[in-house]
Amino acid sequence: MKTANLAWGLSLAGFIPFVILAAGLYLIGASNELFVSLFDIFKVWSALILSFLGGIRWGFAIAHEPLENRNLLISVIPTILAWFVLLLPDAYTILALLVLFCLHGVWDSFYINEGKVAPWFGKIRIALTFLVAASHIIVLFAIA
């Protein structure tokens, strides 16, 4: 299997919890007794994936010679912010995660446009940024 195909498959598999949880939250409504548990699972999954994206950037930074110190330092910020936003009130948590995913997508786009990673990675990041952002918007409607 080609690396790009495997990466697409794994990326889409990582998106499945977003879509299932967002749809579930929207469909069952905030008055359902499962809502709080599903919401907690959604926001923790979201924070974990945001942290994972920072780890990807860490990997890119250490793969280049000379070492990309600036990118290495910045790559830990998504993990720190993902942890921090879990402490915010629910609506702010989802809104902050939405903004952070979009900002990370923009940051990755600049890196991709510099030609530092394979073009297929850029397609994955753009597609998944939109999909993950949409799932966060659905959750915002679910908690409104």
Tens-place pLDDT, residues 81-130: 999 999 999 999 999 999 999 999 999 998 888 888 888 899 999 999 99
Q: Is the CB of residue 86 less than 8 Å from the CB of residue 44?
A: yes
How many domains does the chain divide into?
Answer: 1
The answer to pTM > 0.85 is yes
Share of the chain above pLDDT 90, in %: 80
Angle between the N-to-C axes of helices 90-113 and 119-143, in degrees from 0 to 180, rounded to the nearest 10: 170
Domain range for 30? 3-143
